[in-house]
Amino acid sequence: MFYENELRLVREVFRKCHLQTLVLGTQEVLDSRVDLGLRQLLVGESAYGKSFSALFSVVEKGTFYHLVDAYLCQYLYFLLPDAVQEGVLLVGPYLGEELRREQILEQTEQLHLPPHMSAELERYYAALPILPSNGSLSVMLDTFVEQLWGSHVKAVDIRQESEESDWSVALKKEGDPIWNRDMMQMRYDYENELMLAVEQGQGHKVNLFLESFSHMAMEQRSPDPLRNIQNYCIIMNTLSRKAAERGGVHPIYLDKVSSEFAHKIERLSSVSLGPSLMREMFRTYCRLVRKHSMKNYSAPIQKAIALIDADLTADLSLHALATAQNISDGYLSSLFRRETGQTLTQFVNERRMKAASRLLTTTKLQIQTVAQHCGIVDVHYFSRLFKKHTGMTPLEYRESHR
C-alpha cells in the first residue's frame, strides 16, 4: 500500500491519545471490539450485525463518514484504497464533548434502560476520550483522508436515533460492575503517560494528551463535584512534582510552584475551571523541566547550581560553594567547568545578568537597587558587567524595552 507508513503514523498518534483505530473488512463479521463491548454486555453479539455491518457494507470511495450512534458515541470511518482486500479504517468510539450527568440520565431513559444502568453508562462514557471536531487530531485525520482520495472528499453525517434491542440481558446485570476494571486501567495508563511527558518536559505531548482528556474519567472520591475535582488536582499536582523531580529539577524550584498550585486548587470556585487549571499545571511543570533540569549533572554541581539560584545575593564564590559541600575548591572548579562548559564565575555572572534584565524591564527599581538584588554592591562594576553581557548599559536596556 502506498500509504502504509502514513497509516501507521496516524494510528500510533491516535493510540497515544487512547483513541481506538481498527482496520475492518467491508464484509467482516463485526464484534465487541467496535464499541469496546457495550452492546455485548447489554444486548449480546447479535447487536453488532444490526448496528454496524449494514453501514460498513455500503461505504463509498472518497467519502468520510461521521457516525453518532444511539448511545451518543461517535465514530469516523472511511474506505482505504488500493488494499489487497477492501477495508475500512474506523476511529472510535469517542465523545465530541463532555457529557453532563443529566444527559446520561436522559439517555438511559431514552434507551429504556433500568435506572441503575445510568451508573454503568457513566463509567463507560468516562472511559471514552474526547475528540473535538475542530481539534488537531480531527485536522490530522481529515488531512490523511485528503491524501488518500484527493481534495474533493465528500463528508457524510449519520445519526442513529434509536436501536431495536432486547434489554433483558441488561435487566439481569443489576449490581454487576461492568466498567470498573477497564476504566481504572485506562486511567492509570493515561496518567502514567502524562507524567512521563512531564518528566521529559515534552509540552507538545502533554497538549496532545489533554486534547482528548475527559474530566469524567477522574475518580469520584467525593459526592461534592467541586471537592472531587479539587482532590484530583491535588493528586495531579503531587504526581507532576514527582515527575519533574525525576526529570532532574531540584526541589528548590519545585517547592514554590507546587505551593502556588496548592493555593490555586483550594481557591477553585467551579468545576468548569478545573480542566484549565490542570492544563496550566502540567505545562508549568514541563517548562520547569526544560529550564531547570539537572539530570545530566553530578550531585555536587546540582547542589552548587541550586545554591546559586536560591539566592543571588549570597556569597557565591568558589570557596563558599565548595565549603558548603565539604569538597575542595579545585575539585568543584574542575567539575563545574567539565559539566557545564563554563567557569563558576561565568555561570554566576550569567545568572545575575539574567535576573538584572528581568528587574530592569518589570520594575522601576533604581539601577543601584537592581545591582544589590543581583548580589553586586558596586554599581559601577555592575554597569560594566551588564554592558559586557548585553551590549547596553542598564539604563539603555530599560529604555529599549519600554
CA-CA distance, 89 to 80, in Å (whole number)?
7
Q: Which pLDDT score, from 0 to 100, does residue 401 have? A: 84
Q: Are 212 and 130 in contact (CB under 8 A)?
A: yes
CA-CA distance, 40 to 44, in Å (whole number)?
4
Q: Which pLDDT score, from 0 to 100, does residue 325 have? A: 92
The predicted model scores a pTM of 0.56
Residue 402 three-state SS: coil
Q: Which pLDDT score, from 0 to 100, does residue 50 have? A: 65
CA-CA distance, 248 to 298, in Å (whole number)?
11
Q: Which pLDDT score, from 0 to 100, does residue 83 have? A: 56
pLDDT of 101 > 60? The answer is yes
One-letter identity of residue 170: A
Tally Cβ neighbours within 10 Å of residue 121: 22
Q: Which pLDDT score, from 0 to 100, does residue 112 have? A: 81
Digit-coded pLDDT (tens) for 57-74: 678 888 999 988 888 899
> What share of the chain has pLDDT > 70, as a percent?
87
Give residue 35's pLDDT band: very low, low, confident or very high (50, 70, 90): confident
pLDDT of 173 > 50? The answer is no
CATH fourth-level superfamily of 299-400: Homeodomain-like (1.10.10.60)
Digit-coded pLDDT (tens) for 106-132: 888 888 888 877 877 887 887 788 888
**Backbone phi, then psi, for 157, in 5-degree steps?**
-100, 135
Mean pLDDT in residue range 71-83: 86
